[in-house]
Chain A
């Protein structure tokens, strides 16, 4: 704060500027590294996973992790009640979780941004209708809405993604609309309009790029929330179905063994926590770097 220099040098590139802000937040950088590592592990799961994630081995059920008595180097993190290698299942599970997170963000944000842009530029009556519909969706707790939608559509991972995306969409609509409303009457937009830009150009090329900062922060937030909610659905038996190595589903399968074999419960949950934590750390950094107005500290 104290040493502000007014002899500004040539403005650094956008990415460079972003990085210099992002780097200030040490937690965010750690989050980024952990996230990058997890993505790498997920991407190479088929190469580095020691076993097929669904291969059962009746001779090796509930083997504890390697550092505990009875553990073996063959199964670093132990095996589950069906003798499946937990490490391999976690690695493949990472693929699913990232896929789900990305798909939910893409579905919810494209739909939400589009509706938000329309709402921001629309006449008042249409705007009111859209916002009321969003209020309606927001009245249902996201997990409950997703649970009921999945129950009707059928419990699969794809349906879980769609249901969660629907539940998250209103947040993008509201953010985009709010950003559009604050940008819409600024000089640059009016001059573009006077210059003869048509509505689609105004919406997507003139205004949208200036609304992206809060949306990107929201994307990080819903990425981590989506991973949590899909795992919760899997845990309740309404997400991915066994034997899919999805983290929440793994936890559900392990529930009855919690007092006998701590590792079957501990590792999948730890994987969820570390992934979500890394993304949330990055999200805080993104917020600080992209949107100084939202900056909290």
Chain B
């Protein structure tokens, strides 16, 4: 097991190095001079240009620049935002809880609905429920979620007036961000109605973000269940006269869960990509919106740092999923 873990770690390090090279080179190697971009329409004198070049270290050899960047990254120094002048690292971690909260709620929603849907479809194979659920799953899987978000806004915010359109909480509530999770902070604040407001703000974004993972989980659960249900030990359990609910729920589902859990773990990339769209539409102050805004503002250090941190996040989660998978399923370790 330790050997397996070390082997995975050994592939992690070069990949991480590669990710830093890519996020580094996006700014320095590709066309478009960040200093000129930063100066904007006003332009700048040649002396000032040289000065800025020196200040950012752009006048030194690329390899030296990369080394500085890499050592900076490893010490948590990702540079400062051109716009806010705050360290990118601090900005990322002050916004990250918003994205994390949204993603956690979305993945819980997707799991709680997706697994039962997959089980019901598999145990009713070919019948009405199976067809209805799997058709819905395919629609969900094909959904342009930015449009789906707009539709939900039209219906629930526009016509029915049930949910707010943007933000994390009503403006009339104000309390310190103890944990960064609005649901917890609003409870801690003790202000009447704050928690309810936070929940109402969370409903539509989390539904939108959950849609595609929900469809994927439902499809994966169904196919994993179907595979397991044809195994000999299930037939044995049935032949013993166990209640169908016990066979399906306990014997089958437990083994069908392995690939499903992998899918859930690996959906972190999907969630982050979805967060870009969802947060932009609902003005949710998280990583996705921050990245999009920074791209439009040409705030290169933020784009660079954000890209690196998001990729690192995906890599770490994938590593954890892989290792957990190795723990659950010894066969995988041999590969």
Contacts and interface: CB of A to CB of B under 8 A. Distances in A.
Interface of A: 27, 132-133, 135-136, 139-144, 147-148, 151-153, 224, 228, 231-232, 235-238, 248, 251, 255, 258-259, 262, 265-266, 268-269, 272-273, 276-277, 280-281, 284, 296-297
Given A132-B11, A152-B31, 18 more contacts: A27-B135, A136-B19, A139-B312, A139-B314, A141-B273, A143-B277, A144-B291, A144-B307, A151-B295, A152-B26, A231-B146, A232-B146, A236-B277, A255-B150, A258-B150, A273-B147, A276-B144, A296-B223
Interface in B139-194: 139, 141-144, 146-148, 150-151, 153-154, 158
A273 B146 contact: no
Given A132-B14, A133-B18, A236-B280, A140 B307 contact: yes
B125 interface: yes
B282 to A, nearest CB: 12
B18 A136 contact: yes
A231 B307 CA distance: 21
Interface of B: 11, 14-15, 18-19, 22, 26, 30-32, 125, 135, 138-139, 141-144, 146-148, 150-151, 153-154, 158, 222-223, 226, 269-270, 272-273, 276-277, 280, 291-292, 295-296, 298, 303, 307, 310-312, 314-315, 318
* Prevailing SS type, chain A contact patch: helix
A128 to B, nearest CB: 9
Nearest to B158: A259
B151 A235 contact: no
* Prevailing SS type, chain B contact patch: helix
Contacts of B144: 228, 231-232, 248, 269, 272-273, 276
A258 B158 contact: yes
Contacts of B296: 237
A232 B274 CA distance: 10
B142 A276 contact: yes
A262 B154 contact: yes
Contact of B143 (A147, A273, A296): A273
Given A139-B19, A140-B314, A144-B291, A224 B277 contact: no
